[in-house]
Structure 1
């Protein structure tokens, strides 16, 4: 593991490509704005829905980028087996484990849980009905009973589950900073980590960034078409 490597043998290695970093901070802003606008209510509900659409586009992009993006942003680099998780918890990694490079097993599972939870939360919002002034754009495709059930979920279990996942994420950042002196925020800003030079860097070229922008544009277009079904 990295902690056994002399510090003078470490150097900056690009781990998080720019699309991944921009996705991360854009998602933070959109989720925070969505929560605040929901609590404010009134006319702010319009922004709650808009930000929900943005979250859906971002999550869709991240799923695609997890398949074709930079090396350490791909799911194949951080979808760990239960055995790998056990090795991590026991502090007995194998030589080919890369727990200190991208996401460690706990971080990986939290990322996957967050993406899945956001998909369900936004999906429930698309068919929700607050019985006051706003309804989800896809509400006409489901029964009233199903809509009310998912509306209840959206406002209760979905909301509090999201708060719990965000809280765990923040707690993990603080824990690794204080306990292991491991800064998780810095690399998500700069893209680089201090690692042995043998660690392969991710591709973060102009071409890969333009490709990511194209994927994001396709995701935005897809979400726009989806929510436009309300008026078709």
Structure 2
């Protein structure tokens, strides 16, 4: 019997994760490592450039969470607390994408990443020689506070990442459910009576990526505004 409670013969393999979601997931991992390394080695110029890339990546994921494929949308995997409790009690049917508990862990991680990136945009370094692209919009004290929280939130991100890895291992060992494979291939075995998710057009992904990249570039340039004529 499988983790879903049905025999393998009663299952079929369907596409559950689109390419944009998988690219986001697997780009995020090396990008976080690179940002940690540049921060630790005080390569502030490269760290800032990577920060703008992170902003673009997060903006794209937020847009894709609204306009993207069914399993990528926030409304599909963010459930009420009673639904999460029912899932924990084993009273819910199979979930194609994120389960109710996993969905909220994804949301928390995204919020932490957004908060950490936002602090970096307004922060300056310890000696005040290097600053985020939006630090000129706030006071020195606020920029210093942003620097402090930029470091603190990163520790929370590391904790969430560790929990994420432990959860993947627990599902694999305790429930014989592979969560890593589908994020690589995009495909997953589900019960035959479970409908395959709907996917957004690749053109929608390109449009979202273009909007996210444009906004990130504008932020990286210091969010300049056009001068009005006198």
Q: Does 1:172 align with 2:164?
A: no
User: Could you tell me how far 1:201 is from its partner in structure 2?
Assistant: 2.2
TM-score, structure 2 normalization: 0.90
In the TM superposition, what whole-angstrom CA distance separates every residue of 1:55-77 from its partner, at most 9, and x where no partner exists?
A: 11111111111111111111121
1:229 alignment partner, SS class: coil
| Structure 2 counterpart of 1:227 | 220
Looking at structure 2, the residues matched to 202 and 229 of structure 1 have their Cα atoms a distance apart, in angstroms, of 40
Normalised TM-score (structure 1): 0.90
The residue aligned with 1:182 is: 177
- Output aligned runs, 1:1-232, within 5 Å: 3-41=4-42, 44-93=43-92, 97-99=93-95, 101-132=96-127, 133-155=129-151, 157-204=152-199, 208-229=201-222
Across the aligned residues of Structure 1 and Structure 2, the Cα RMSD in angstroms comes to 1.8
Q: CA deviation at 1:148?
A: 0.8
Give the Cα–Cα distance (whole angstroms) in 2 for the partners of residues 135 and 102 of structure 1.
40
Gaps of 5+ in 1: none
Higher helix proportion (structure 1 or 2): 1
Q: Secondary structure at the match of 1:12?
A: strand
Q: CA deviation at 1:87?
A: 0.6
CA distance in 2, matches of 1:162, 1:11: 35
Measure the CA separation in 2 of the matches of 1:35 and 1:45.
11
Deviations 1:87-128 (A, max 9, x none): 1111122xxx443x2111221111000111111100000111
Retained in 1: the 8 A contact 2:55–2:216?
Answer: yes
Instruction: Count how many residue pairs are aligned between Structure 1 and Structure 2.
Output: 223
CA contact (8 A) 1:2 1:195 kept: no
Structure 2: how far apart are the matches of 1:18 and 1:210? 12
Contact 1:78–1:104 at 8 Å: present in 2 too? yes
> 8 Å contact 2:3–2:176 — kept in the other structure?
no
- Verify the 8 A CA contact 1:17 1:202 in the aligned structure 2: no
